[in-house]
Amino acid sequence: MKLRILLSLMLMLFSASVATAASLPDEDGYDLWLRYRPVEAAYARNLNVSAILGGDTPLQRSAESELQRGLKGLLGRDAARVKTVQAGALILGTPASSGLIKNLKLPLQGLGEEGFLIRSISLNSKPVTVIAANSDRGVLYGAFRYLSLIQTRQPLGHLNISDAPKTDLRLLNHWDNLDGSVERGYAGASIFDWWRLPDLKDPRLTDYARANASIGINGAVIDNVNASPLVLSDRYIAKAAAIADMLRPWGMKVYLSVNFASPKALGGLPTADPLDPQVIKWWQERTDAIYKAIPDFGGFLVKASSEGQPGPGDFGRTHAQGANMLARALKPHGGVVMWRAFVYASDNPEDRFKQAYDEFKPLDGQFDDNVIIQIKNGPIDFQPREPFSPLFGALTETNEMMEVEITKEYLGQATHLVYLAPMWREALQSDTYQQGPGTTVAKVLEGKVYGNRLTAMAGVSNIGADRDWTGTDFNQANWYAYGRLAWNPDADPKAIASDWTKMTFSDNPAFVTPVVNMMMGSHEAVVDYMTPLGLAHQMATGHHYGPGPWVCDLARPEWNPCYYAKADKGGIGFDRTATGSDALAQYAPEAAAKWSDPKTMDPRFLLWFHHVPWDFVSADEKPLWPDLIAHYDVGVDYVHDMQTTWADMKPYVDDRRFTAVSENLAIQAREAKWWRDAMIAYFQSKNGLSLPTGEAPPEHDLGYYESLQFPNAPGQGK
């Protein structure tokens, strides 16, 4: 025992000396933000924590094991499991699991099912820390919060923290196919080894669940929204159950994306009409079979009547009829249906921007109370910048949730360093004005406006089997920030970035400050070098890698980048005012008013709503054409600045991660310039204008950019 203490001390000394040495030990990113590397001795000295007194439920056991792992790593201490109060103990529990906690009469009301309280108190004159909650899951979240306080070097002497999530369901959506590929995945194959499940239980899934629990994510949809009917077969239900078994100890539920045509495709029925009694029975039977294997199954996610997927529309039924049929199969078990609003019809000539609202607004009030409409943050499709979807706040009698895309399908994919939290905050804090000023999207989602029975967030996962989970170290920040914002849609992206940076790399301010600043501007940079001033969907077809503004010959108009930019000799931009598609009218009048005057509106959204001439000049006297080019330049320059910033960070990062980030930034720098040059060459081909004085011309002619082909671009699934 003495030997082990000595060894621990020496390991800490060794670690401390390494931390200041020229070269830090290489890390491969697998540990994410749960690295638990040793803290500085000065900080550790003040921490009085030496034992854990916890409950015996599975989730409290998880909390305890994580605390032991974390304290061992951070402080080099083995926190013993104790049965009685002692000085320096961490006391975990719920009033139900612990008489001690119950007797403390802590203010747990208001923390709901998942909130927690962390408090430094004195018990029988012994200083202890209490992590208490109304449920085991709350205890688990409290344990992770406690560790994060050490990871970010907070003072722990007089803790009095209480926190609770503002949404009920905080989910990852995996667009993972049953063949192991991942649609819009840029970090290797699926982490779910569908083939060898349920027999082979990959320990990686436990680490996946731990990471999610640490940021409050409490569920995962484990298969692609473009769903295979097979996932409802007994064989695949058994596989899903094995995944559920591995996620459950960390407070996560499993959900499945289902194919609306499954009763035909898998069940052999002649129809999938949601009002057909046989179809209803089939779904009930399959749902019951799932709950038999997964008693805490979360529910279904459905992409119906969208992009070729089957749906109730195929049988002349409404989305509400389709969703409610599934909801009623799930209802007895407590499950939910998340029904995606991402629809646009192949035969509908209406502005794609408007179609989701047109479809769902008339159905408001017709959905059962265990249905949630899952709405993408913007009206089109995860563009670098979109206005908020007009559906937010417009549905007053229907549960609604937001879907964001953590995987950067349209924002540089795996390689570009883009911190997404500022973009998500922009959507969350948008004012819908639907119930007067201050009716922000976040408030709607939190259920504060209409008192929704269910509140939720969904993030399309950027996770794959790559050793670092997300393709690059900085993509991990988006997984992390998504969890934090799902927990609290009002959280500050900068504070989140700061926490993540400290936990993932270093808490040295000489590192944290410049890196956080670099992250915070990275989203505006990608907007600038891809689609500034309210442009959207200028990416190449199919894989969405690189620029493709010239594409104009695809079967459906709204598949073409030219549909969105509408660049011609006369001008650029999509007229969504009353003279155009009038999509603006889908917003509350006060919200629409903000975007109605091209002269005075926020120019970041200009071309989303207005077609303006190339010689347009805004009220603050910015002429469009040079301003557009200036944005591209600013974006390109920002990437160069990130390279410079990162180069200075070498002393604070291990070689392996330092090099990987540097290599990815080099790709981003080259591609930012590619974007700038290709877009400018394209615009010039339309407007015939020369470049402002001093502007570098595109490196190649337009034909060159048009000729580039990327047949093996990743993320296209099967």
Closer to a second copy at the Cβ: 236 or 388? Answer: 236
Cβ at position 539, least distance to a second copy in Å: 16
Region near a second copy per CB under 8 A, out of 196-204, 422-430, 502-510, 615-623: 196-204
Look up residue 109 and give its amino acid: Q
Q: Which of 194, 433, 450, 487 forms a contact with a second copy (CB under 8 A)? A: 194
Q: Which of 257, 415, 522, 531 forms a contact with a second copy (CB under 8 A)? A: 415
Region near a second copy per CB under 8 A, out of 85-93, 294-302, 596-604, 710-718: 710-718
Backbone angles phi, psi at 400, to 5 degrees: -135, 145
Does residue 438 contact residue 393 with C-beta atoms inside 8 Å?
A: no
198 prior amide bond cis, ω within 30: yes
> Is 621 a residue of the active site?
no
> Is 409 a residue of the active site?
yes
Say whether residue 234 binds a second copy (CB under 8 A).
no
Closer to a second copy at the Cβ: 510 or 666? Answer: 666
Say whether residue 203 binds a second copy (CB under 8 A).
yes
Look up residue 488 and give its amino acid: N
Residues 647-676 that bind a second copy (CB under 8 A): 656, 659-660, 663-664, 666-667
SS3 content of the chain, % helix, strand, coil (to 5): 40, 10, 45
First to last CA, the chain: 55
Q: Which of 188, 489, 547, 548 forms a contact with a second copy (CB under 8 A)? A: 188
Say whether residue 634 binds a second copy (CB under 8 A).
no
Of 405, 409, 473, 575, the active-site residue reads 409
Of 78, 207, 307, 654, the active-site residue reads 307
Closer to a second copy at the Cβ: 493 or 714? Answer: 714
Count residues contacting a second copy (CB under 8 A)? 41
Cβ at position 506, least distance to a second copy in Å: 21
Q: Is 456 helix (H, G, I), strand (E, B) or coil?
A: strand
Comparing CA positions, the residue from 588, 546, 483 lying closest to residue 682 is 546
Cβ at position 35, least distance to a second copy in Å: 17
Closer to a second copy at the Cβ: 203 or 688? Answer: 203
Does residue 429 contact residue 442 with C-beta atoms inside 8 Å?
A: yes
49 vs 654: CA distance, rounded Å:
30
Closer to a second copy at the Cβ: 218 or 668? Answer: 668
Which residues face 255 on adjacent strands?
Answer: 221, 299
Q: Which of 46, 125, 346, 712 forms a contact with a second copy (CB under 8 A)? A: 712
Q: Which of 45, 80, 110, 179 forms a contact with a second copy (CB under 8 A)? A: 179
Say whether residue 717 binds a second copy (CB under 8 A).
no
Comparing CA positions, the residue from 520, 309, 310, 265 lying closest to residue 418 is 520
Cβ at position 245, least distance to a second copy in Å: 14
Helix (H) and strand (E) counts for the chain? 22, 16
DSSP characters over 344-398: --TT--S-HHHHHHHHHGGGTT-S-TTEEEEEESSSSSS-SS-PPPTTTTT-SSS
Closer to a second copy at the Cβ: 28 or 285? Answer: 28
Region near a second copy per CB under 8 A, out of 4-12, 92-100, 399-407, 514-522: 4-12
Region near a second copy per CB under 8 A, out of 66-74, 245-253, 460-468, 621-629: 460-468
Region near a second copy per CB under 8 A, out of 176-184, 275-283, 319-327, 606-614: 176-184
160 vs 135: CA distance, rounded Å:
19
152 vs 419: CA distance, rounded Å:
20
675 vs 683: CA distance, rounded Å:
12
Say whether residue 21 binds a second copy (CB under 8 A).
no
Cβ at position 715, least distance to a second copy in Å: 9
178 vs 329: CA distance, rounded Å:
24
Say whether residue 201 binds a second copy (CB under 8 A).
yes
Region near a second copy per CB under 8 A, out of 173-181, 311-319, 335-343, 568-576: 173-181
Tokens of 201: 């239980």
Cβ at position 10, least distance to a second copy in Å: 5
Q: Which of 39, 178, 530, 572 forms a contact with a second copy (CB under 8 A)? A: 178
Closer to a second copy at the Cβ: 29 or 299? Answer: 29
403 vs 342: CA distance, rounded Å:
10
Q: What is the CA radius of gyration of the chain?
A: 26
Closer to a second copy at the Cβ: 190 or 560? Answer: 190
For 627-655, what is the HEC assignment?
A: HHHHHHHHHHHHHHHHHHHHHCCHHHCCH
* DSSP character at residue 473: T
Residues 251-280 that bind a second copy (CB under 8 A): none
Closer to a second copy at the Cβ: 153 or 718? Answer: 718
Q: Which of 1, 22, 42, 200 forms a contact with a second copy (CB under 8 A)? A: 200
Cβ at position 200, least distance to a second copy in Å: 5
Comparing CA positions, the residue from 271, 265, 257, 376 lying closest to residue 317 is 271
Closer to a second copy at the Cβ: 196 or 292? Answer: 196
Say whether residue 1 binds a second copy (CB under 8 A).
no
Tokens of 224: 């692609």
Cα 247 from chain centroid? 19
Cβ at position 196, least distance to a second copy in Å: 7
Closer to a second copy at the Cβ: 14 or 704? Answer: 14
Distances (CA, A) of 247 to 207, 219, 379: 9, 9, 33
Does residue 262 contact residue 309 with C-beta atoms inside 8 Å?
A: no
> Is 403 a residue of the active site?
no
Region near a second copy per CB under 8 A, out of 177-185, 322-330, 361-369, 546-554: 177-185
Q: Pairing mode, if any, of strands 219-221 and 253-258?
A: parallel
Region near a second copy per CB under 8 A, out of 83-91, 190-198, 375-383, 564-572: 190-198
Region near a second copy per CB under 8 A, out of 5-13, 163-171, 496-504, 523-531: 5-13
Say whether residue 10 binds a second copy (CB under 8 A).
yes
Q: Is 554 helix (H, G, I), strand (E, B) or coil?
A: coil
Residues 22-51 that bind a second copy (CB under 8 A): 26, 28
Comparing CA positions, the residue from 216, 208, 128, 207 lying closest to residue 170 is 216
DSSP characters over 281-329: HHHHHHHHHHHHH-TT--EEEE--SSTT---GGGGT--HHHHHHHHHHH
514 prior amide bond cis, ω within 30: no
Of 27, 193, 351, 381, the active-site residue reads 381
Binding site for a second copy (CB under 8 A): 3, 6-7, 10-11, 13-14, 26, 28, 177-181, 188-189, 194-196, 199-201, 203-204, 230, 414-415, 465-467, 656, 659-660, 663-664, 666-667, 711-714
Residues with catalytic roles: 307, 381, 409
